Structure 1
Amino acid sequence: MKQNCTNSLPLRVLLVEDSIELQAMLQAMLSEIPSVEVIASVESENDALAVMRDDHTDLAIVDLELRSGTGLGVLKNLHDSLDGNNRRIGVVVFSNYSNLIIRHRCLSLGAKAFFDKSFQIDELLEFVQKQASGHAKGLSV
């Protein structure tokens, strides 16, 4: 029997970005994607981790440079706290700091993808759209 996925829960996205202007722009763009809900926009590592602890986040879009703390700190904390009982939150990095060493570090800490703010916003949005589509079909992030 085939399930109707059109009424399934949306992909819940957390924006972790210190630029209020970029938060607003991303929120507007993400709201155009069906089955995506931006649940919060935060500017610091501690705020990001607090939202993620509430277990309402499916995907976090994380900048590396934050108002306080870092995106690497968010990734490291999630990586260190994972065990068999924790639900895994998908994390992608969206940053200007895209050298190979930083990219490798982010991916080794569990980032699903790394997008450069300078020229990969379309790729980020495509990634989120694919994740939302998979989420609606019951696939994990």
Structure 2
Amino acid sequence: MTYSNNPNKGGEGETGKTPDDKNIVFTYKAVVNKVDQEQKTLAGAAFKLEKKNNQGVYNLVKSFTAGNDTTFEFKGLDDGDYKLTETTTPAGYNTITPIEFTISADHDTTADEPALTRLSVTVTKGEATFTPDKDAGSCWFINY
């Protein structure tokens, strides 16, 4: 945007330029893998991920149904409260109890190139272990 530094009507005189602004948006991904006790992938599993809004209501983020590949990636997540629900369970296996978790992160916002400094996932309901990877901006969850 170009503007005039002259406050008089007409805009004659010296001009300037609005400085460029840099916006960096930090998003994360959750990776879920359904395996059995021998670490074999279980085809046929399906999951949905929901995010809690300000009114405490969960809204669908995305659903996945596995074919032969049982790794699900939920990309573009931000800080907040989520619920992971298994919607289809492979025959002969137990359905997981819905897992509620919170993604939180800290960023170095004063640097010229803001960076992610901490990524954590806290399970608030259900049983799960997430392994955050700050450098990749992701958290892994493997379900048995």
Alignment TM-score, normalising by the size of structure 2: 0.26
Specify which structure has the higher proportion of helix: 1
**Structure with greater contact order relative to length (CA < 8 Å, sep ≥ 6):** 1
Specify which structure has the higher proportion of strand: 2
